[in-house]
Chain A
Amino acid sequence: MNPVYDFTIPARAPWSHVVKAGQSLRIVDLEGNQAVDCILYDAADPTERYSAQETIVAQNNLFLTVGTKLMSTEGRPMMTVTADNVGRHDTIGGACSCESNTLRYGHHTKHQHACVENFIYELGQHGLGKRDVVSNINFFMNVPVMPDGALGIVDGISAPGKFVELKADRDTLVVISNCPQINNPCNGFNPTPVRVTITE
Chain B
Amino acid sequence: MQTLPANTATHVPEDIDAKQLIWAETFSSGEYGSRVLKRGTRVRLVDVDGDACCQFIVHHASRPYERLNVADTVKVQWNGYLGEGKLLLSDMGRVLMSIVRDTSGRHDTFCGPSTAWSNAKRYGDGENYSKQPNARDRFLLALLKHGMGKKDIPPSLNFFKGVTIGEDGSLHFNGDAKPSFIELRAEMDVLVTFANCPHVLDPRPGYTASPLRAFAWQGPPTLADDPIRNASPEAQRAFENVDDWLL
Binding site for B on A (CB under 8 A): 47, 51-54, 56-57, 60-63, 73-75, 88, 92-95, 97-104, 106-107, 116, 130-136, 144-145, 147-151, 153
Contacts and interface: CB of A to CB of B under 8 A. Distances in A.
A102 B90 CA distance: 13
Interface in B43-71: 65, 69-71
Given A53-B112, A131-B152, A93 B79 contact: no
Nearest to B237: A103
A94 B81 contact: no
Given A103-B234, A104-B76, 9 more contacts: A52-B155, A57-B118, A61-B169, A74-B117, A100-B75, A104-B75, A135-B70, A145-B165, A145-B169
B80 interface: yes
B170 A92 contact: no
How many B residues touch the partner, as a band? 35 or more
A150 B241 contact: no
Interface in B84-109: 89, 91-94, 109
A57 B201 contact: yes
A145 B76 CA distance: 14
Interface string B116-156: 11100000000000000000100000000000011111111
Interface of B: 65, 69-72, 74-76, 78-81, 89, 91-94, 109-113, 115-118, 136, 149-156, 164-165, 167-171, 200-201, 233-234, 237-238, 240-241
A134 B154 contact: yes
Contact of A93 (B71, B94, B234): B71
A93 to B, nearest CB: 5
Contacts of B115: 54, 75
Nearest to B168: A61
B110 A131 contact: no
Contacts of A130: 65, 91
Nearest first, the 10 A-B pairs at minimum CB distance are: A94-B71, A53-B112, A99-B93, A149-B81, A145-B165, A63-B169, A62-B169, A75-B117, A149-B79, A61-B169
A98 B94 CA distance: 12
B206 to A, nearest CB: 20
27 contacts: A53-B156, A56-B171, A57-B118, A61-B168, A61-B170, A75-B115, A88-B169, A97-B91, A97-B93, A100-B69, A100-B72, A100-B91, A103-B76, A103-B237, A103-B238, A104-B234, A106-B233, A130-B65, A135-B71, A144-B167, A145-B169, A147-B167, A148-B79, A149-B79, A150-B78, A150-B80, A151-B80
Contact of A145 (B80, B91, B149, B233): B80
